[in-house]
Structure 1
Amino acid sequence: MKRGDRDRTFSVLVRRRSVQPLKQLQDWLWQPVDIAFLVYFRIAFGSILLWEVQRYFNHGWIQAYWMNPAFNFTYPGFGWVQPWPGNGLIWHFALLGVLALFIVLGCFYRLSTLLFFLGFTYIFLLEQARYLNHFYLICLLSFLLIGLPAHRLCSIDVLRQPKLLSQTAPAWTLWLLRFQIGVPYFYGGIAKLNGDWLRGEPMRLWLSSSTDLPLIGRFFTAEWMVYLLSYSGLLLDLLIVPLLIWRQTRLIAFVFAVLFHLTNAKLFVIGIFPWFMIAATALFFPPSWPRQAVAVLLNIPVKASTTAIAPQRYRALITSCLLIYVSVQCLLPLRHYLYPGNVSWTEEGHRFAWHMKLRDKQGRAEFLGRDPATQVVKSLPPEQFLASWQIRKMAGRPDMVLQFAHYLAKTVPTQGDQPLEVRARVWVSLNGRPAQLLIDPLVDLAQEQRSLRPADWILPLEEPLKPATSQSNDVTSP
């Protein structure tokens, strides 16, 4: 064989070997699985979100959180997202409820999931002080549902268009949902690998205020209970996904996950999150389990279909999109490692990183405005501009303090053309530490720009964690 022929043969072999793993991945992702799990998740997702919308109407939260405040904290780059005028938000939430019902019924499914994603994400972006990890998770899952064929069985869409009926779905739909549900667990566990959590804080603080809980509340002041709950939460977050994937440990892992979420629902006020995660964690059972459960309940024989999926035109494109999405979800929660300091103190990179119920932060903020023309300095109490729940959230979050300082500079009039100078004295206690200044009180925050770069006006955390017997939540300035 000539040298040129050998080179061409070698090149062909290299290309084949490089293409083979991608082809194997595509074949695995497109294997047919029972679609019953998708129908179950569609119904569970829509039902829980319908319940959530109803809670906002019943408690008057729409008015309290978005309509009544004169100022809303927005996310960087999304200052253009503003509340609807008049009663627009009331109608907006009513539409979300209708869309959630349509998702349950599988009615105009693609349009309903698209509009629900846009509508819920709009609400999420309206108020940074209302950031919750499970709201972020709902945004992501509603986005994923747009592309999942969850309407191809047990839906009004199938009644309208029988050709949509399918008993199977590609395996990637199952594993994509499992991945997205597993991400909060895993990164929630990674976040707990810090000195405070390993020493029992802030669990010790939280349990000390729940001693009136029946039966077990009397043990909440015992150190063994503090460490039991701290380390069991850490281990469950880190190990629950592999234990759910492994068939031999799946059932016991699911039982522990249910007990974990029920405990959280009892100890903390975290809304629908425990119930949502219990429902979502059931996706780790075999995809045909909802079909089998219906068969048992109705006492009828139901056999899961294994019909092969017809070849699809865009498998390579979909596979590439899946890899990009998974990569982003794996890397985004790690961005706080690019910032100096304790992320629970600086908050830089804290959001979208699945740091759930991880720190106890108590703060008090004072703002001073100085007119450059008259040199007059006056106090600017946040209570005059913000709701009490906004103040509580803002006091421990430097980026929100900065945004409020910008608002004061634009709102409070001055005698000359120069804008108001705004300085803040913010005292914060993290996980029971003595309170210390969070922000340099000499910096004119009105001149500091909102940026993704590390903020040099955030003071480093210097107060050590006190021994367990002497922790307090005192945030008064010395």
Structure 2
Amino acid sequence: MKKLFLPVDNSPLIIFRIFFGFLLAAETFGAILTGWVRDNFIKPKFTFSHIGMEWLQPLPGDGMYYYFATMGVLGILVMLGWKYKWSLSAFTVLWTLTYWMQKTSYNNHYYMLVLVCLIMIFLPANRYASLDARQNPEIKSLTMPKWCSLVMIAQVAIVYFFATVSKFYPDWLDGTFTKNLLAHKSENPFIQEIFHQKWFYLFIAYSGILFDMLIVPMLLWRKTRTIAFIASLIFHLFNAITLQIGIFPFFALSFAVFFYPPEKIRALFFKKKPKPEGNEPIYQNKSVLLYFFIPYFLIQIALPVRHWFIKGDVLWTEEAHRLSWRMMLRSRTGYSTFKVIDKKTGERLPYSLYSSLTDKQIAMVADKPDAIWQMAQRIKKVFAKHGKDVSVFVDCHVSINGRPYRQLIDPTVDMAAAKWDYFGHNDWILLYDEDNKPTNQSSSN
């Protein structure tokens, strides 16, 4: 335990704060400039919030533009280290609300941002090269406890470990997914020809496994660190170009500063910074490590394994898919028909999804069980306002990785009356045996 509190040069944490704040600003201002805010918060009549957060809806009018602009300004303040804890705490709250508010354009790096923001609130990242340290020299410090770097390394290690484990399934191992993924990534005939070569898409598949599996150990070992960083640079730049996933590749690269000796980071980024002296343990934030970070990492380990305790294949059911670092694993397409029945008369009532949903939302309710359930609840409320008590039945068929379509939702179940089990399997999601026959469909079907 004593080694965790030994003082080390805080240069990695300081430069990461600067990178991080810049990326926060780039993400949020970029979301406005690219139309992402417009498409996901302004145009929709409502958003598919995370279940339990349906009350959390976008601000009216142009409110979400101001909301994201505020986050952009807060990101700049984090980068400059001005009112650091206040600025980052405010950003964390606003970003977390944004994360909960919509999942039509869900991305794992949005979740990663929530976690890293939360971690950084508890780290002394404003003790050097910050406006806070300039205005209040008493907080200025050249060192930090060693555990401050280790918690960032631990978070990265958890992400890559579970990203590796999740790839060990047939469609990844035989290249099916990577072949489909690369199929339409370029209009250049020469590049397309390469992407269609079996050796190439298998190379991408197994490179992905090896990268996720080895990158953290190789960054930790001095002899392979530079090779690992170069590999990481190539890997993430390739993803940035082919997958177009925003700041995430650069965000992932920025964690490399915690793997290098602090003295090297100081020499590279803070040439005028004095060399810290003394080796007395720093115990001021011991309670933070014991009572926040230890429970935090236990939760981070538990969340990605929870799907193994839920009946059915998570690739099919989507149950416990989120918060599990199951990144870029499968393609999923489907189509759904919602049948609304007046309980009193038995009459089928007209309802058009296209009148209330955007194209992205239509695609979501076509194959995502949670969105289908939420849509059924919303339809029930819409008709209830007109004094009608309705049942909602859904005919939904889904294809995973281009395989034949199969029925996802039990068409005999009234989805307006169905319950959502957040921690277990929902029986209205059909499961199949080895002969491709439903194993849990209602006997009334």
TM-score range, shorter chain: over 0.9
2:11 paired residue number: 36
Aligned residue for 1:252, secondary structure, equals helix
1:229 paired residue number: 204
The equivalent position to 2:95 in structure 1, one of 74, 96, 120, is: 120
Deviation at 1:301? 6.7
The equivalent position to 2:414 in structure 1, one of 437, 444, 450, is: 444
Q: 1:290-341 CA deviation, whole Å, 9 max, x = no partner? A: 321136xxxx675532433565355256324221111111111111111122
The equivalent position to 1:331 in structure 2, one of 302, 308, 324, is: 302
Letter in 2 for 1:76: I
Distance in 1 (alpha carbons) for counterparts of 2:405 and 2:282: 62
The equivalent position to 1:305 in structure 2, one of 263, 276, 288, is: 276
Pair 1:151-2:126 in alignment = yes
Using the aligned pairs only, state the percent identity: 34
Distance in 2 (alpha carbons) for counterparts of 1:89 and 1:310: 46
Give the conservation status (yes or no) of the 8 Å contact 2:173–2:205: yes
The equivalent position to 1:422 in structure 2, one of 367, 371, 392, is: 392
Q: 1:209-260 CA deviation, whole Å, 9 max, x = no partner? A: 2353586442111111111110110111111111111111111111111111
Q: 1:339-376 CA deviation, whole Å, 9 max, x = no partner? A: 12211110001000011110001111111100112211
Give the conservation status (yes or no) of the 8 Å contact 1:414–1:420: no
Pair 1:362-2:306 in alignment = no
Aligned residue for 1:446, secondary structure, equals coil
Aligned residue for 1:69, secondary structure, equals coil
Deviation at 1:270? 1.3
Distance in 1 (alpha carbons) for counterparts of 2:42 and 2:307: 32
Distance in 1 (alpha carbons) for counterparts of 2:153 and 2:281: 24
Distance in 1 (alpha carbons) for counterparts of 2:131 and 2:387: 65
> After superposition, where does 1:190-269 map in structure 2 within 5 Å?
190-210=165-185, 212-213=187-188, 216-269=191-244
Distance in 2 (alpha carbons) for counterparts of 1:235 and 1:288: 30
The equivalent position to 2:117 in structure 1, one of 133, 137, 142, is: 142
Give the conservation status (yes or no) of the 8 Å contact 1:439–1:457: yes
Q: 1:69-91 CA deviation, whole Å, 9 max, x = no partner? A: 11211212222322223433222
Deviation at 1:267? 1.7
Range with bigger deviation, 217-226 or 161-170: 217-226
Letter in 1 for 2:157: G
Distance verdict in 2 for CA 1:423–1:414, change over 3 Å: farther
1:431 paired residue number: 401
Distance in 2 (alpha carbons) for counterparts of 1:39 and 1:166: 11
Give the conservation status (yes or no) of the 8 Å contact 2:307–2:320: yes
Distance in 2 (alpha carbons) for counterparts of 1:232 and 1:310: 41
Q: 1:76-122 CA deviation, whole Å, 9 max, x = no partner? A: 22223222234332221111011101001000001001101001111
Give the conservation status (yes or no) of the 8 Å contact 2:128–2:142: yes
1:405 paired residue number: 376
Q: Number of matched residues?
A: 435
Distance in 1 (alpha carbons) for counterparts of 2:288 and 2:26: 36
Aligned residue for 1:412, secondary structure, equals helix
User: Which is higher, the Rg of structure 1 or of structure 2?
Assistant: 1
Give the conservation status (yes or no) of the 8 Å contact 2:45–2:356: yes
Distance in 1 (alpha carbons) for counterparts of 2:104 and 2:55: 16
Aligned residue for 2:336, secondary structure, equals strand
Distance in 2 (alpha carbons) for counterparts of 1:327 and 1:365: 38
Give the conservation status (yes or no) of the 8 Å contact 1:203–1:226: yes
Deviation at 1:171? 0.8
Distance in 2 (alpha carbons) for counterparts of 1:156 and 1:370: 62
Aligned residue for 2:335, secondary structure, equals strand
Give the conservation status (yes or no) of the 8 Å contact 1:129–1:394: no
Distance in 2 (alpha carbons) for counterparts of 1:353 and 1:256: 24
Distance verdict in 2 for CA 1:215–1:37, change over 3 Å: farther
Unaligned runs of 5+ in 2: 437-445
Q: CA RMSD in A?
A: 2.1
Distance in 2 (alpha carbons) for counterparts of 1:344 and 1:33: 43
Aligned residue for 2:416, secondary structure, equals helix
Deviation at 1:414? 8.3
Distance verdict in 2 for CA 1:201–1:87, change over 3 Å: same
Distance verdict in 2 for CA 1:430–1:168, change over 3 Å: same
1:270 paired residue number: 245
